[in-house]
Structure formats: structure tokens, C-alpha cells
């Protein structure tokens, strides 16, 4: 029966398979990892992006730490402005504040949920020094236009590839357009070791790179507790969560949540918005776990695109063949023209939940949680009309990860269509 034998949730370890859980178990029993796993991860990135040996890669505990390292080492004048978009994660504006700059939050456009390039020039001032371009859900914005705007205004282009490892624009990969780029290996990303991140910087022998190296050296090692929780959580996700619908999994999940074994994606302080920095280095053990995911990267990539294509065909929505589709976003406005989408939104979510499938809810809030104090980022929703409209329960994200098969995708579409029909009658 649909969803009976698996746990489909794009938030909770969507990439973890049995071999990952088994590996995590073996790593847990080992004192030291003998292979140089962090070097191997770097080598994977060098091969993937065809990088020369002069190009540096730094591995961190998270994407946010990677972003901080990039921004801090840029060494811009204090209070320089950095363009970021709404529909992001709170840790992005946090990293800007932590580096001593001002985030300038820009509006999005409703098709790809990326920067609205028609509005961007209104936000550029002489203080604008950097632009963090995020390829939301793995869909890329027109990068030729972005590059042209950056060149014209002498703005440093930073690519946030937290959602988009494997996406391309005009045949060129996400992560190779900017002067620097960052990646996340968080638990709900393209490949995952529960925590992790990377910086790529292609500025050999530059002051920027020297400072980045210095900032990296200052980071403390990964907290042993964070590493332990990541391994335990991987084991539980691989072995127990598939039993979610037999109650065992459900009970174990609520137990590990209560016991705080599920590592929080961010702390309460980070959730509110903060200029305090918490970053750490990566670890050999998590890198070892990640290497197994990277081996499956191509399988994951092909799978996500295949599932996204089913959603696009069945719902008659645009498909971006170059996108990696971390999730398949649906703006409910594309399906139906009405004033208030709340009941449709709630109905789709609850229908799928009854079938054992949790849909993603990026973005119900500008920075993915309702606690964030937007005034810390000098941001008012009134200034972001498209984002403000879409935040009113109009965007759902359909899962594309490896545990979703063709039949699941078709059933999700069926639930959406039934909810739409119920609205019309
Ligand atoms: C767009 C974007 N950038 C950066 C990050 C930060 O990644 P991490 O959680 O690894 O710090 C996230 C996290 O969800 C994100 O969605």
C-alpha cells in the first residue's frame, strides 16, 4: 500500500539508505578513520568541477560556516551591503551580519523563487559589494545576466549552492559561475552527512585566499557530540524510519526528538537572527559518510530529475532540464486562480500526510521559520511584494529524493488533483 513501507519526508534524512546506516554503524565502532577522507572529498569536488590544483577547497561543519568564511575573508569595509534574497535560510543573513556587513534582502520572482533580476538594480548602491546568488530548489537564474550586473557594478559574485550541486545553466555547473561558491551537506540537501559544508575559491595566491585560509585555521574542531549525533541519527534513519508506518518508527522518531538525538538544524539563537558566529571544522568521520553519498551522487541526480519530470508532466508545469531539483516546487497559483489558497494548501498537505507522505513547506516564512526577527536584517515584508504574497500558503515542495518512486509521485499528483477538484465543487 502507498507509503506503507517507507518514510517519505524531504526534511528528515531523505538521502539515507541502508548502506549509509550500516557504514555509520561501522564508523561509530572505529576509533580513527584511516583513509584520508577529507582529502578524498576535496578530490571529488576537484574532479567534478574540473578544478586546477591552485584552486582551494575548505570543508566545514555547515554551509553557513562556509559562507561566513567567504564573507569574512573578503575583508570589505564595515557595513558594506550584501545582496541576498527572501525565500532563504536564516543562516544566510546571519552569516552576513557575522562577517560585519549589512544584508540587503531582495524580492523574488514567482516562477523559480530566485532573485527578481528586473528589480535588482533598485537595490544596488555604492555600498553594495557582494551578491549571494542562491539557486533555489536547484533551479538557476539567468547567470549571464547576473554576471553582467556584477561586472557593471563591480560586485563580487558568491554562489550559494546549498540546493544545487549538479545543476547547470547554459551547460556550466552551479558553483562555477561565481568567484567563489559554497555547498551544504546538511541532512536535507543533495548529498548529506547530517552536517557539513564546503567553500571553493578560485583565487590562487590572492590576499583573499590567504585570509580565507587564516579564518579557516581559527575554526575549532567539530564538537564530538555533533559528530556522534550525526552518526546515530544516520543509523536510526536507515534502519528504523522505514518502519515509521508500523508505529515502531513513529515511536522511535518521537523518542529521539524528545531525547534531542535528532540534531537541530540551527539553534534558537540562530533562528531568531544573530551576529554571533558558531562555526566549526568538518570531521574525518563525517567526510567518510559523505564519500559514500558522493558515490551515489549520479544515481540521486538522475532519480531526482526523473521524479521532477513526472510532476511536471502530470501537473502540466514547466520543467527545467538543467535543474538538480532538490525538491519540485509548486506555486499553487499555477494550478488555480483564486484569492485565498490556505484551505487548498492545508488540504493537499493533509491528504498526502494521510497517505504517509510529508510534503516540504519551504517557504511559509521568508527565512524558513516564523521565529526570525526580520528587523535584525533591516527587512520589511512590505518591500518584498512577491515574496509577501507567496508566503501566504501558496508554495509547496514535492519530494524528489531516492525513496520516492514513480508510483509515489503519481499518487502525490492524484492527491493534489483531488484537493483541487474538492475546491471547485
Ligand atoms: C539556501 C541555503 N543556503 C545556505 C544554507 C545553510 O546550509 P547549512 O544548514 O549547511 O548551514 C541553507 C540551509 O538550509 C539554505 O537553504
Supply φ then ψ for residue 343, to 5 degrees.
Answer: -70, -35
pLDDT at 237 over 50: yes
Ligand 1 contacts (CB < 6 A) are 62-64, 88-89, 91-92, 134, 160, 162-163, 184, 186, 197, 265
User: What's the CATH fold of domain 297-424?
Assistant: 3.90.1150
How far, in Å, is the centroid of ligand 1 from the Cα of 183?
A: 8
pLDDT digits (tens, 9 = 90+) for 403-423: 999 999 999 999 999 999 998
For atom 1 of ligand 1, which residue has the closest CA?
88
pLDDT digits (tens, 9 = 90+) for 348-386: 999 999 888 999 999 999 999 999 999 999 999 999 999
Instruction: Report the pLDDT value the prediction gives residue 33, as an integer from 0 to 100.
Output: 75
Instruction: Report the pLDDT value the prediction gives residue 261, as an integer from 0 to 100.
Output: 79
In ligand 1, which atom is closest to the CA atom of 91?
Answer: 6
How far, in Å, is the centroid of ligand 1 from the Cα of 419?
A: 31
The CATH architecture to which 26-218 belongs is: 3-Layer(aba) Sandwich (3.40)
| Domain extents in the chain | 26-218, 297-424
Considering the chain, what is the average pLDDT of its residues? 94
- Probe ligand 1: pick from 93, 162, 363, max atoms within 8 Å of CB? 162
pLDDT at 2 over 50: no
Do you find a cis peptide bond into 398, omega within 30 degrees of 0?
A: no
How far, in Å, is the centroid of ligand 1 from the Cα of 304?
A: 19
Q: What is the pTM of this model?
A: 0.96
Cell of 336: 488555480
Q: Any residues with CB less than 8 A from the CB of 417 and at least 6 apart, and which? A: none
Percent of the residues in the chain that have a pLDDT greater than 90, as a whole number: 85
Instruction: Report the pLDDT value the prediction gives residue 4, as an integer from 0 to 100.
Output: 54
For atom 15 of ligand 1, which residue has the closest CA?
89
For atom 7 of ligand 1, which residue has the closest CA?
63
For helices 406-424 and 297-315, give the axis angle rounded to 10 degrees.
30
pLDDT at 400 over 80: yes
Amino acid at each position: 500500500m502507498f507509503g506503507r513501507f517507507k518514510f517519505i519526508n524531504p526534511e528528515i534524512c531523505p538521502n539515507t539508505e541502508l548502506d549509509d546506516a550500516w557504514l555509520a554503524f561501522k564508523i561509530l565502532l572505529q576509533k580513527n578513520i584511516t583513509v584520508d577522507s577529507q582529502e578524498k572529498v576535496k578530490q571529488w569536488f576537484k574532479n567534478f568541477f574540473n578544478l586546477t590544483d591552485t584552486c582551494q577547497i575548505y570543508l566545514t561543519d555547515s554551509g553557513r560556516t562556509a559562507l561566513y568564511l567567504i564573507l569574512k575573508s573578503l575583508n570589505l569595509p564595515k557595513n558594506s551591503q550584501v545582496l541576498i534574497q527572501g525565500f532563504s535560510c536564516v543562516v544566510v543573513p546571519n552569516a552576513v551580519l557575522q562577517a560585519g556587513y549589512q544584508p540587503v534582502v531582495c524580492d523574488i520572482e514567482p516562477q523559480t523563487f530566485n532573485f527578481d533580476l528586473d528589480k535588482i538594480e533598485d537595490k544596488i548602491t555604492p555600498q553594495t559589494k557582494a551578491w549571494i546568488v542562491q539557486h533555489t530548489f536547484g533551479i538557476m537564474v539567468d547567470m549571464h545576466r547576473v554576471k553582467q550586473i556584477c561586472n557593471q557594478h563591480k560586485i563580487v559574485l558568491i554562489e550559494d549552492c546549498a540546493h544545487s550541486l549538479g545543476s547547470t545553466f547554459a551547460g556550466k555547473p552551479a558553483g562555477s559561475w561565481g568567484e567563489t561558491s559554497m555547498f551544504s551537506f546538511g541532512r536535507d540537501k543533495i548529498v548529506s552527512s547530517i552536517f557539513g559544508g564546503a567553500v571553493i575559491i578560485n583565487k590562487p595566491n590572492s590576499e583573499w585566499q590567504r585570509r580565507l585560509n587564516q579564518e579557516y585555521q581559527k575554526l575549532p574542531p567539530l564538537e564530538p557530540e555533533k559528530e556522534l549525533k550525526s552518526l546515530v541519527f544516520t543509523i536510526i534513519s536507515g534502519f528504523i524510519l522505514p518502519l515509521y508506518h508500523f508505529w515502531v518508527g513513529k515511536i522511535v522518531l518521537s523518542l529521539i526528538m524528545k531525547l534531542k538525538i535528532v540534531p537541530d538544524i540551527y539553534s534558537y539563537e540562530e533562528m531568531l537572527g544573530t551576529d554571533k558566529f558558531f562555526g566549526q571544522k568538518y570531521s574525518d568521520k563525517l567526510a567518510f559518510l559523505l564519500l559514500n553519498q558522493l558515490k551515489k551522487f549520479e544515481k540521486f541526480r538522475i532519480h531526482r530529475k526523473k521524479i521532477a519530470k513526472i510532476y511536471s508532466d502530470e501537473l502540466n508545469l514547466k520543467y527545467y532540464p538543467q535543474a538538480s531539483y532538490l525538491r519540485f516546487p509548486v506555486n499553487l497559483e499555477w494550478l488555480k486562480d483564486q484569492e485565498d489558497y490556505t484551505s487548498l494548501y492545508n488540504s493537499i498537505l493533509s491528504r498526502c500526510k494521510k497517505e504517509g507522505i510529508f510534503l516540504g513547506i519551504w517557504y511559509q516564512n521568508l527565512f524558513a521559520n516564523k521565529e526570525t526577527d526580520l528587523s535584525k536584517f533591516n527587512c520589511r515584508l512590505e518591500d518584498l511584494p512577491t515574496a509577501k504574497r507567496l508566503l501566504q500558503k501558496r508554495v509547496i515542495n514535492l519530494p524528489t529524493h531516492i525513496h520516492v518512486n514513480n508510483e509515489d509521485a503519481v499518487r502525490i499528483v492524484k492527491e493534489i488533483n483531488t484537493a483541487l477538484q474538492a475546491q471547485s465543487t
